[in-house]
A and B are shown apart, each in its own frame.
Chain A
Amino acid sequence: MNLTIQVNEGPYQHQASDSAYFFTKAALEKGHEIFRVFFYHDGVNNGTRLTTPPQDDRNVVKRWSELAAEHDLDLVICVAAAQRRGIVDDGEAERNKKDATNIAPGFRISGLGQLVEGGIQSDRLVVFGD
Chain B
Amino acid sequence: MSNIKKFMYVNRRAPYGTIYAWESLEVVLIGAAFEQDVSLAFIDDGVYQLVKGQDTAGIGMKNFSPTYAALGDYEVTKIYVEKESLEERGLTLDDLQHLVWEDEDDDWAEKDSIRLVSCAELAQVFAEQEVMFNF
B36 to nearest A CB, angstroms?
7
Are A120 and B33 within 8 A (Cβ)?
no
Asked if B36 and A120 make an inter-chain contact with CB atoms under 8 angstroms apart, the answer reads yes
Closest B residue by C-beta to A116: B31
Which of B15-41 touch A at CB < 8 Å? 19-20, 23, 26-27, 30-31, 33-34, 36
Binds B, one of A28-36, A95-103, A107-115: A107-115
Q: Which 8 A-B pairs have the closest CB atoms?
A: A119-B131, A112-B30, A116-B31, A116-B34, A125-B131, A127-B134, A112-B27, A41-B23
Chain B CB within 8 A of A80 CB = yes
B7 part of interface (Cβ distance < 8 Å):
yes
Tell me which residues across on chain A come within 8 A of B131, comparing CB atoms: 119-120, 125
Please indicate the chain A residues that have their CB under 8 angstroms from the CB of B31 in the complex: 112-113, 116
Contact between B19 and A113, CB atoms less than 8 A apart:
no
Find residues 85-135 in chain B having any chain A CB closer than 8 Å to their own CB. 131-134
